[in-house]
Amino acid sequence: MSKSLLVSVLLAAMLAACSSKAVKEAPVVDKTPSAPAVTETAKPAMADDSATTTGATQTDMSVNPLKDPNNILSKRSVYFDFDKDEVKPEYRPLIEAHAKYLVANPAAKVFIQGNSDERGTREYNLSLGQRRAVAVKKMLSLLGVQDKQIETVSFGEEKATPGCKDDACYQQNRHADFAYENE
Protein backbone atom coordinates (compact mmCIF):
# COMPACT_ATOMS: atom_id res chain seq x y z
CA MET A 1 0.00 0.00 0.00
CA SER A 2 1.41 3.37 -0.89
CA LYS A 3 1.91 5.90 1.85
CA SER A 4 -0.51 8.44 0.43
CA LEU A 5 -3.20 5.82 0.09
CA LEU A 6 -2.53 4.70 3.64
CA VAL A 7 -2.82 8.23 4.94
CA SER A 8 -6.03 8.91 3.08
CA VAL A 9 -7.49 5.65 4.26
CA LEU A 10 -6.52 6.56 7.80
CA LEU A 11 -8.10 9.95 7.49
CA ALA A 12 -11.24 8.28 6.30
CA ALA A 13 -11.12 5.94 9.24
CA MET A 14 -10.64 8.81 11.65
CA LEU A 15 -13.54 10.69 10.19
CA ALA A 16 -15.60 7.55 10.48
CA ALA A 17 -14.58 7.22 14.08
CA CYS A 18 -15.48 10.82 14.80
CA SER A 19 -18.97 10.30 13.51
CA SER A 20 -19.19 7.13 15.59
CA LYS A 21 -20.56 5.21 12.67
CA ALA A 22 -19.39 1.79 11.78
CA VAL A 23 -18.75 1.83 8.08
CA LYS A 24 -18.76 -1.80 7.41
CA GLU A 25 -18.84 -5.13 9.11
CA ALA A 26 -15.41 -6.18 10.15
CA PRO A 27 -13.78 -9.17 11.79
CA VAL A 28 -14.23 -9.70 15.45
CA VAL A 29 -11.26 -9.65 17.71
CA ASP A 30 -10.77 -12.78 19.83
CA LYS A 31 -13.42 -13.26 22.49
CA THR A 32 -15.00 -9.85 22.72
CA PRO A 33 -17.45 -10.20 19.87
CA SER A 34 -19.08 -6.80 20.15
CA ALA A 35 -16.46 -4.11 20.09
CA PRO A 36 -17.81 -1.71 17.50
CA ALA A 37 -14.89 0.68 17.67
CA VAL A 38 -12.58 -2.12 16.65
CA THR A 39 -14.38 -2.39 13.38
CA GLU A 40 -13.52 1.20 12.67
CA THR A 41 -9.92 0.78 13.63
CA ALA A 42 -9.58 -2.42 11.72
CA LYS A 43 -11.19 -0.92 8.69
CA PRO A 44 -8.39 1.07 7.04
CA ALA A 45 -6.02 -1.74 6.32
CA MET A 46 -8.71 -3.67 4.50
CA ALA A 47 -9.85 -0.81 2.40
CA ASP A 48 -7.96 -1.96 -0.64
CA ASP A 49 -8.64 -5.63 -0.15
CA SER A 50 -11.94 -7.26 0.62
CA ALA A 51 -10.40 -10.73 0.96
CA THR A 52 -9.70 -10.32 4.63
CA THR A 53 -13.21 -9.19 5.42
CA THR A 54 -15.05 -12.37 6.14
CA GLY A 55 -17.72 -10.96 8.37
CA ALA A 56 -18.65 -11.03 12.00
CA THR A 57 -19.14 -14.75 12.16
CA GLN A 58 -15.46 -15.43 12.17
CA THR A 59 -14.19 -15.82 15.72
CA ASP A 60 -10.72 -17.27 15.32
CA MET A 61 -7.45 -15.39 15.68
CA SER A 62 -6.57 -15.29 12.01
CA VAL A 63 -8.01 -11.84 11.59
CA ASN A 64 -6.74 -10.28 14.77
CA PRO A 65 -6.08 -6.74 13.49
CA LEU A 66 -2.90 -6.61 15.54
CA LYS A 67 -1.54 -9.52 13.57
CA ASP A 68 -3.00 -8.77 10.17
CA PRO A 69 -0.10 -7.81 7.93
CA ASN A 70 -2.48 -5.62 5.93
CA ASN A 71 -3.46 -3.67 9.01
CA ILE A 72 -1.41 -0.72 10.13
CA LEU A 73 -1.73 -2.12 13.66
CA SER A 74 0.70 -4.86 12.65
CA LYS A 75 3.31 -2.16 12.19
CA ARG A 76 4.91 -1.64 15.56
CA SER A 77 8.04 0.49 15.30
CA VAL A 78 8.63 4.24 15.47
CA TYR A 79 12.17 5.24 14.45
CA PHE A 80 14.23 8.12 15.87
CA ASP A 81 17.25 10.29 15.09
CA PHE A 82 20.54 9.94 16.98
CA ASP A 83 20.30 10.99 20.64
CA LYS A 84 16.75 12.27 19.97
CA ASP A 85 13.34 11.40 21.31
CA GLU A 86 11.12 13.53 19.04
CA VAL A 87 8.48 11.53 17.16
CA LYS A 88 8.76 12.30 13.46
CA PRO A 89 5.52 13.29 11.64
CA GLU A 90 5.61 10.20 9.41
CA TYR A 91 4.89 8.00 12.46
CA ARG A 92 1.77 9.87 13.57
CA PRO A 93 -0.60 7.63 11.58
CA LEU A 94 0.85 4.50 13.15
CA ILE A 95 0.59 5.93 16.67
CA GLU A 96 -2.94 7.21 16.01
CA ALA A 97 -4.05 3.77 14.83
CA HIS A 98 -2.74 2.15 18.00
CA ALA A 99 -4.33 4.89 20.09
CA LYS A 100 -7.70 4.15 18.50
CA TYR A 101 -7.31 0.44 19.11
CA LEU A 102 -6.45 1.03 22.77
CA VAL A 103 -9.32 3.46 23.29
CA ALA A 104 -11.68 0.96 21.70
CA ASN A 105 -10.28 -1.88 23.80
CA PRO A 106 -9.95 -0.50 27.33
CA ALA A 107 -8.86 -3.90 28.62
CA ALA A 108 -5.94 -4.06 26.20
CA LYS A 109 -2.55 -3.25 27.62
CA VAL A 110 0.53 -2.27 25.66
CA PHE A 111 4.20 -2.07 26.47
CA ILE A 112 6.08 0.68 24.65
CA GLN A 113 9.63 -0.62 24.39
CA GLY A 114 12.32 1.97 23.66
CA ASN A 115 15.63 1.08 22.01
CA SER A 116 18.85 2.83 21.10
CA ASP A 117 21.83 2.13 18.89
CA GLU A 118 24.99 0.80 20.51
CA ARG A 119 26.92 4.08 20.65
CA GLY A 120 27.40 5.43 24.17
CA THR A 121 27.03 3.60 27.46
CA ARG A 122 24.47 0.93 28.32
CA GLU A 123 22.80 2.71 31.23
CA TYR A 124 22.62 6.06 29.42
CA ASN A 125 21.16 4.30 26.40
CA LEU A 126 18.67 2.56 28.65
CA SER A 127 17.49 6.02 29.72
CA LEU A 128 17.49 7.27 26.14
CA GLY A 129 15.34 4.33 25.04
CA GLN A 130 13.01 5.19 27.89
CA ARG A 131 12.70 8.79 26.71
CA ARG A 132 11.66 7.47 23.30
CA ALA A 133 9.08 5.19 24.85
CA VAL A 134 7.78 8.10 26.92
CA ALA A 135 7.56 10.30 23.81
CA VAL A 136 5.29 7.71 22.17
CA LYS A 137 3.32 7.31 25.37
CA LYS A 138 2.68 11.05 25.57
CA MET A 139 1.13 10.95 22.11
CA LEU A 140 -1.04 7.99 23.07
CA SER A 141 -2.20 9.86 26.18
CA LEU A 142 -3.06 12.94 24.13
CA LEU A 143 -5.12 10.67 21.90
CA GLY A 144 -7.15 9.49 24.88
CA VAL A 145 -5.48 6.24 25.90
CA GLN A 146 -5.66 5.65 29.65
CA ASP A 147 -2.42 5.62 31.62
CA LYS A 148 -3.10 2.20 33.06
CA GLN A 149 -3.10 0.69 29.57
CA ILE A 150 0.45 1.76 28.83
CA GLU A 151 3.71 0.66 30.40
CA THR A 152 6.89 2.22 29.07
CA VAL A 153 10.06 0.15 29.28
CA SER A 154 13.45 0.38 27.66
CA PHE A 155 15.87 -2.19 26.31
CA GLY A 156 18.52 0.49 25.75
CA GLU A 157 21.12 -0.81 23.34
CA GLU A 158 20.64 -4.44 24.40
CA LYS A 159 18.62 -5.46 21.35
CA ALA A 160 20.72 -3.49 18.86
CA THR A 161 22.30 -5.31 15.95
CA PRO A 162 25.99 -5.24 16.79
CA GLY A 163 28.74 -4.06 14.47
CA CYS A 164 26.99 -1.22 12.63
CA LYS A 165 29.34 0.80 10.45
CA ASP A 166 27.06 3.58 9.19
CA ASP A 167 23.99 5.54 10.20
CA ALA A 168 21.67 3.54 7.95
CA CYS A 169 22.45 0.56 10.14
CA TYR A 170 22.41 2.48 13.44
CA GLN A 171 19.06 4.00 12.47
CA GLN A 172 17.44 0.55 12.41
CA ASN A 173 18.29 0.22 16.10
CA ARG A 174 16.78 3.52 17.29
CA HIS A 175 13.13 2.72 17.76
CA ALA A 176 10.20 2.40 20.13
CA ASP A 177 7.96 -0.65 19.63
CA PHE A 178 4.37 -1.50 20.52
CA ALA A 179 4.15 -4.88 22.28
CA TYR A 180 0.67 -5.88 23.42
CA GLU A 181 0.22 -7.89 26.57
CA ASN A 182 -0.34 -11.62 26.06
CA GLU A 183 0.72 -11.54 22.44
Partner 1 sequence: MMKSRHYLIFLLMMLPFAVKAELTIDVVGGAAQQIPIAVVPFLQSTGQQDTIANIVGADLRRSGLFRVLETRGVSNQPHEASEINYPEWSSIQAQALTIGKVESLAGNRLKVSFRLLDVYKQNQLTGFEFNIAPSQQRATAHRIADMIYQKLTGETGVFSTRIAYINKAAGRYSLLVADADGYNPQAVVSSKEPLISPVWSPDGSKLAYVSFEKKKPVVFVQSLLTGQRYVLANFKGNNSAPSWSPDGRRLAIVLTHSANSQIYLINADGTGLQSLTSSSAIDTEPVWSPDGSTIYFTSNRGGSPQIYRVGAAGGEPKRVTFDGAYNVSPRLSPDGKLLAFIKQGSGGFRVAVQDLTNGQVQVLSDTSQDESPSFSPNGRMIIYATNIGGKGALAAVSSDGRVKQRLSDNGGDVREPAWGSAAN
According to DSSP, the β-strands at 110-115 and 175-180 are antiparallel
Closest to partner 1 by CB, 41 or 113: 113
Q: Does 47 bind partner 1 (CB under 8 A)?
A: no
Least distance from partner 1 to the Cβ atom of residue 165, Å: 10
Contact region with partner 1 (CB under 8 A), list: 30-38, 59-67, 102-110, 156-164: 156-164
Q: Does 109 bind partner 1 (CB under 8 A)?
A: no
Q: What is the DSSP string of the chain?
A: --HHHHHHHHHHHHHHHHTT---S--PPPTT----HHHHHHHHHHHTT-GGG---TT--SGGG-TTT-TTSGGG--EEE--TT--PPPGGGHHHHHHHHHHHHH-TT--EEEEEE--SSS-HHHHHHHHHHHHHHHHHHHHHTT--GGGEEEEEEETTTSPTT--SHHHHHTT-EEEEEETT-
Q: Does 119 bind partner 1 (CB under 8 A)?
A: yes
Binders of partner 1 among residues 122 to 141 (CB under 8 A) are 122-124, 126-128, 130-131, 134, 137
Q: Does 147 bind partner 1 (CB under 8 A)?
A: yes
Contact region with partner 1 (CB under 8 A), list: 9-17, 41-49, 95-103, 113-121: 113-121
Q: Does 183 bind partner 1 (CB under 8 A)?
A: no
Query: Among residues 158, 167, 169, 183, which is the contact residue for partner 1, using CB under 8 A?
Result: 158
Query: Among residues 14, 37, 79, 111, which is the contact residue for partner 1, using CB under 8 A?
Result: 111
Query: Among residues 12, 68, 92, 151, which is the contact residue for partner 1, using CB under 8 A?
Result: 151
- The strand pairing partners of 176, in sequence order, are 78, 114
Q: Are 108 and 141 in contact (CB under 8 A)?
A: no
List residues near partner 1 by CB under 8 A: 111, 119-124, 126-128, 130-131, 134, 137, 147, 150-156, 158-159, 162-163
